[in-house]
Amino acid sequence: MALSGDLWAELPAERRIFCSVLLFSWAVYLWEAFLAHRQRRVYRTTTHVPQELGQIMDSETFEKSRLYQLDKSTFSFWSGLYSEVEGTMILLCGGIPFLWKLSGQISGRAGFGPEYEIVQSLVFLLLATLFSALTGLPWSLYNTFVIEEKHGFNQQTLGFFFKDAIKKFVVTQCILLPVTSLLLYIIKIGGDYFFIYAWLFTLVVSLVLVTIYADYIAPLFDKFIPLPEGELKQQIETMAKSIDFPLTKVYVVEGSKRSSHSNAYFYGFFKNKRIVLFDTLLEDYSALNKEPAEGEDGESEETKSKTKNKKQGCKNEEVLAVLGHELGHWKLGHTVKNIIISQMNSFLCFFLFAVLIGQKELFAAFGFYDTQPTLIGLMIIFQFIFSPYNEVLSFCLTVLSRRFEFQADAFAKELGKAKDLYSALIKLNKDNLGFPVSDWIFSMWHYSHPPLLERLQALKDAKQE
């Protein structure tokens, strides 16, 4: 042990940094693989409905969810292994400095010399995201057209999938490249306190994106229509008014064109709040509960519903209970608390980045001996150096999220929605083929929402009251 310690101490600082990053990355991967193995063992061995679930889940649904989650877990193992090996090979083979040099050659041919670092950084970012998209494409195709298709969730055609993927890539670049160029410029001209200006800039960008996402970005991919006038809309508006939620509009998004999974969320700031419901959540609106009309064409034909695995959705009272839970997050300040935590973390990271950016050993560890590009510094420090901190923070936020979920359920109970939320959670678990039995360590580390049984038990106590 002493000998190995001496050998480690004799290594140059940049080698110690590089080896530490690589070792920690594999340590995290092995930990995740260990947890996934424990959970797969649960999927394999729990073949009958546990007694405590007998009243809420039939054996056919239980078996479907078990097989679905087992397939997903196996896929996650292989895709995770590939991702880890790919990342390791990129680091060992000097992929990052190679791509930076290639970016310089491309920008140089366009008339931009080494002094145009921001231009070279944007070329690097474009090439890196393109490489990531291409290497991830086979995995995404397999996940969508094999696993999701096999279990009845996929509603996309191959043409829709590729059109959607290209559109996502283009939209991402239209946002990522301008924002990155401005951030790099701010860091370069910001002086000793650039980290404050960089943090303020990212704060403004995040708030703007949250504000415009549902109005301008999401409609590029899915169709949003106002919830028609009727009993459900009136009930939603009445509930929102009862808790002083400043609701302005309610939308239904045609999520059934790409997947059978369901969701609901709200967005907006101050007095301009809007609610979005996936059509797969609504029993009366989901295209998956309807027979396709004869002669349908255009986009509807391209994303034709596969009715072999219809989803039941939720009744109006259950939809209201789900919204009561979601609005509980707003009423209890969970959204604001999450924003504050996120921004405190962002400020801390930028401050530490300002402290570390001058350390040439960090750049040398990843093959940058003669130059210290700002973008590369951001990548090294935020992605590699901060990785232990990010793992701890992620676990803490997972624990906090579960606490918030229980509080939101309790808020729905106070609105008198315990019975309807109870049945809605069972339906949503069935519709999404959620498996209700979990390994306790896997659950503790990964689940941002409490296990189904725990949530139902809390709601059951309220029902009995």
Residues annotated as catalytic are 326
Please choose, from the candidates 391, 384, 380, 396, the residue with its C-alpha nearest in 3D space to the C-alpha of residue 444: 396
Q: Output b/e per residue, 165-193; b: 16+ Cβ within 10 A.
A: eeeeeeeeeeeebeebbebbebbeeeeee
Alpha-carbon gap, residue 272 to 222, rounded angstroms? 21
Residue/partner pairs of 392-395 with CB below 8 Å, 24 or more apart: 393/345, 395/445
Give the gyration radius of the chain's Cα atoms: 25
Tell me the C-alpha to C-alpha distance, in Å, between residue 267 and each of 146, 327, 421.
33, 11, 22
**HEC profile for 115-167?**
CCHHHHHHHHHHHHHHHHHHHHHHHHHHHHHHHHHHCCCECCCHHHHHHHHHH
Q: Are 176 and 229 in contact (CB under 8 A)?
A: no
Kind and range of the H or E element at 224?
strand 224-226
Alpha-carbon gap, residue 25 to 83, rounded angstroms? 11
What is the identity of the amino acid at 404?
F
Kind and range of the H or E element at 177?
helix 158-189
